[in-house]
Amino acid sequence: MSSGKFYITTPIYYINDKPHIGHAYTTIVADVLARWRERRGDQVSFSTGVDENAQKTVDAAKKNNEEIRAYTDRMAEQWESVWKTLRISYTDFIRTTEPRHVETVNDFWTRLDAAGDLYKGKYEGLYCKGHEAFLNEDELVDGMCPEHKTKPEFVSEENYYFALSKYQDKLLEFYEAHPEFVAPANRFNEVKSFVERGLEDVSFSREGKEWGIPVPNDPHQVIYVWADALVNYISSIGLEGWEEHPADIHAVGKDILRFHAVIWPAMLMSAGLPLPGQVIANGFLTIGGTKMSKTIGNVVDPLDLAARYGNDGLRYFLLREVPYGEDGDFSEEKMKERYNGDLANGLGNFAARVLALAAKEEILTGTLEAAFAKTLADMEKAATQKMNDFKFGDALAAIWHAISFGDKYVNEKKIWEMEDDVRRRQALFNLASLLEGIVAALAPFLPETAAKIGDALDCEGEGIKTKKIDILFPRVK
Ligand code: MSP
């Protein structure tokens, strides 16, 4: 078992609307990894939060007729409360309007400046507010941003530039030395070829904006939202904390991978700070093939799904159904199928049967039969391997393999008909031990379910005593 520090982050989300299941997906992925490491004995820091210093915050506040501060306070609270309801095990919730962040951004900017990597220049280009980024002419479709279906605005102003182009070779060397830096691997290839094609310097400030962190010593400029937002990962644990132990994993979506895998490491190199261990990127959840997005308006509310399928039902579906890194089309039909099939009939039924049969016995003791010990060891090994590769669906499949093994054993042995006390009690000891192992592996994925089964499975020293349990996953019609 590894034991050490583990620091994982989600993106900080824009607050122009409430969370949808796309955001919940990225956050749940980070949560599973955080819980997985915690289970292995690591001391986990898990940071999430909100990105407030964006133009879209100002626009949304105006649209709601609210003062900007009041709007951001309200929305920050709403985001945090969604993560609480979904039982996300974050250890820090960061807002980019907090003094601790503003200070860190100031320090960071001063470091880039001291390295000679910031200079003033004129910028002209097409700005997409949905992306909070400039787009190239050739990225547009009929003059519109293809992702947000909006027309970018033409901007011409004096900005501070970050000398990203200086870091092209250093980045490529770094990628070479760290073949795991970006996962899944096909995404890493995209990043590498992007950098190989040549990097342009990026605009790192905006002129004359009312909202955002002012550039140190130049209050007519505010720091560009990304140059500010990325630094949140440091603000969360402090500069010293980052120097001692930078993020192990930044979990993001594929839309913001370049910011995290290209610009962010270059910023850190410039600032003389250590680089994160890995950036992992999920694909998009789509509806009928179109990206789910608050800008487009085709969103599904995670709280609504969680109310009907449970937090664990939502987690299970997202992690099992969508291969990590790829896009996945959301449909409630598929969700229902997974829920009724794998959870209600599969795990729920198996756990209920074992607990009910064993509850009729005195404390169960014995020695685990070899086939069971092997099933558990194989499960643990496969799940660990799959988790290291971020193959969440396959890790779950390895656990479900053990459930099927147990189910088959119950059916073949017809435990409920076994009259020989010694044989029946040995069989039930095997099954209860199997269930215990399954629950331990499942806990990072389905924490609430694992806790319920765990409560009904009392392991006392060498023995196990069980209780019957309420239905874990009531069927959904
Ligand atoms: N504020 C920036 C991130 C700054 S991080 C230093 C931002 N915010 S966002 O609110 O637009 O959300 C970003 C992330 O939400 C995406 O990278 C992705 O992880 C997640 N998703 C948003 N829509 C999604 C889908 N439709 N599907 C899957 N994930 C999605 O960008």
Please tell me the number of Cα atoms within 13 Å of 98 on its side-chain side.
Answer: 18
Helices (H) and strands (E) in the chain, counts: 18, 18
Range 193-202 burial, b when 16+ CB lie within 10 A, else e? eebeeebeeb
- CA of 14 from ligand 1 middle (Å) equals 8
Calculate how far, in angstroms, residue 35's C-alpha sits from the geometric centre of ligand 1: 21
Residues 6+ apart with CB under 8 A from 466: 354, 355, 358, 359, 364, 432, 456, 457, 458
Atom of ligand 1 nearest to the CA of 54: 1
Q: Using an 8 Å Cβ cutoff, are 302 and 82 in contact? A: yes
DSSP states along 377-389: HHHHHHHHHHHHT
CA–centroid distance, residue 3 to ligand 1 (Å): 31
For tokens 């054993």, name the residue.
409
pLDDT for 1? 45
**Distance of alpha carbon 322 from alpha carbon 326, whole angstroms:** 7
Nearest to 290 by CA among 30, 27, 24, 22: 22
- For the CA of 294, the nearest atom of ligand 1: 23
Q: Does residue 163 have its Cβ closer than 6 Å to ligand 1?
A: no
Q: Token pair of 228, please?
A: 């500010």
Residues 292 and 21: beta-carbon distance below 8 Å: yes
Instruction: Return the pLDDT at 189.
Output: 97
- What crossing angle do the helices spanning 349-359 and 392-413 adopt, rounded to 10°? 40
Q: Give the distance (Å) from ligand 1 centre to CA of residue 101.
A: 20
**Ligand 1 mean position to 194 CA, how many Å?**
20
Distance 125 CA to ligand 1 centre (A): 23
Nearest CA to ligand 1 atom 18: 253
Instruction: For residue 433, give the 3-state DSSP assignment.
Output: helix
Counting other chains too, the contacts that 62-68 makes at CB distance below 8 Å and 24 or more residues apart are: 68/211
Contact 94 CB / ligand 1 (< 6 Å): no
Out of 23, 53, 232, mutate this one to test ligand 1's pocket (max ligand atoms within 8 Å of CB): namely: 23
Exposed/middle/buried for residue 383 (C-beta within 10 Å: 0-12, 13-18, 19+): buried
Nearest CA to ligand 1 atom 6: 230
Q: What beta strand segments (E) does 292-428 contain?
A: 328-329
* Tokens matching residue 37: 């490491």
> Does ligand 1 lie within 6 Å of residue 229's CB atom?
yes
Low-confidence ranges of the chain (pLDDT < 50): 1
The pair phi, psi for residue 227, each rounded to 5°, is: -65, -25
| Biggest CA pair distance of the chain | 87
- Alpha-carbon separation of residue 90 from 45, 96, 132, 173 (angstroms): 7, 17, 26, 33
Q: Are 361 and 427 in contact (CB under 8 A)?
A: no
Q: Nearest-5° angle of CA 392, CA 397, CA 398?
A: 100
- Rounded Cα distance, 104 and 93, in Å: 16
* Cα–chain center distance at 348: 26
What single letter denotes the amino acid at residue 160?
A: Y
Any atom of ligand 1 within 6 Å of the Cβ of 230: yes
- Which atom of ligand 1 is closest in space to residue 285's alpha carbon? 27
* Residue 116 φ/ψ region, left for φ over 0, alpha for ψ in the -120 to 50 degree band, beta for the rest: left
Name the residue at shortest CA distance from atom 24 of ligand 1. Answer: 22
Q: Is 285 in the pocket of ligand 1 (CB under 6 A)?
A: yes
Smallest Cα–Cα separation from 190: which of 293, 279, 268, 264? 279
Q: Whose CA is nearest to atom 12 of ligand 1?
A: 13
291 pocket-lining for ligand 1 (C-beta < 6 Å): yes
Closest to 32 in 3D by CA, of 466, 326, 450: 450
Which residues are within 8 A (CB) of 402 and not within 5 positions of it... i.e. 6 or more apart? 375, 376, 378, 379, 434, 437, 438, 441
Residue-wise pLDDT tens digits, 157-215: 889 999 999 999 999 999 999 999 999 999 999 999 999 999 999 999 998 788 999 99
* Closest to 6 in 3D by CA, of 235, 231, 250: 250
Among 56, 249, 256, 317, which is best to mutate for testing ligand 1, by the most ligand atoms less than 8 A from CB? 256
Centroid of ligand 1 to alpha carbon of 144 (angstroms): 20
- Specify the pLDDT at position 83: 98
- Whole-number Å distance, alpha carbon 255 to ligand 1 midpoint, is 7
Q: How far is the CA of 240 from the centre of ligand 1 (A)?
A: 28
DSSP 151-180: PPEEEEEEEEEE-GGGGHHHHHHHHHH-TT
The pTM of the whole model exceeds 0.85: yes
Task: Please tell me the distance between residue 10's alpha carbon and the centre of ligand 1 in angstroms.
Answer: 9
The pLDDT assigned to 472 comes to 96
Side chain identity at 117, as an amino acid letter? D
In DSSP terms, which residues pair with 215 in a beta bridge?
218
